[in-house]
Amino acid sequence: MTSFTTELEQEAKITSRVLGRVPDDKLTWKPHPRSMTLGQLALHTATIPGNIAGIAAQDVFEIAFRDSPQPASVADIAKAFDESLAAAKTYLEALSDEKADAIWRAKAGDKEVMALPRKWALRAIMFNHLYHHRGQLSVYLRLLDIPVPVIYGASADENPLR
């Protein structure tokens, strides 16, 4: 799906800027006891495209909740992001219109949680999920007094028009 691939490439630039601000010495920091650490959130954000491509490739996905792993370094996050993008692009470029329009299902045991066209699952779970967690990541950066990069326009720290 060319439009999804184009969107992924554009959004990858923004996500890369945000992930690039994550410091190695704050990977275990978290804003609240129930929150993910900065490292867990950054790694989760980095791996969303590839993980969701793998999930969307299945006709029925069995939901299994697990904790996000704690990365050892920012380099691990960057490597995971590169691999994730490559896997997602490969999947999206090969996705036929017929397969994109086919119903995709998510189940939790015997309960069907979602049943919708695969292209809408990709929109909701790959893209919107990425944007959601990237936004959370920008809040973590702000709380740590790390300059927030330009996302869709000027941030309080950067203005591309100046």
For residue range 98-107, what is the model confidence (pLDDT) as tens digits? 999 999 999 9
3-class DSSP state for residue 145? coil
Cα dist from 116 to 95, 102, 112, 126, 131, whole Å: 16, 8, 11, 14, 20
Q: Give, rounded to a whole angstrom, the gap between the first and last alpha carbons of the chain.
A: 36
Q: What is the mean pLDDT of the chain?
A: 94
- Closest alpha carbon to 15 in 59, 77, 62: 77
Percent of the chain with pLDDT over 90: 85
Bridge pairing between strands 60-62 and 111-117? unpaired
Grade residue 160 by pLDDT with cuts at 50, 70 and 90: confident
Question: HSE (CB half, 13 Å, CA atoms) of 122?
Answer: 27
Domain 2-143 class, CATH top level? mainly alpha
**Digit-coded pLDDT (tens) for 128-138:** 999 999 999 99
Task: Look at the pTM and tell me if it is higher than 0.85.
Answer: yes
Does the structure show a pLDDT above 90 at 125?
no
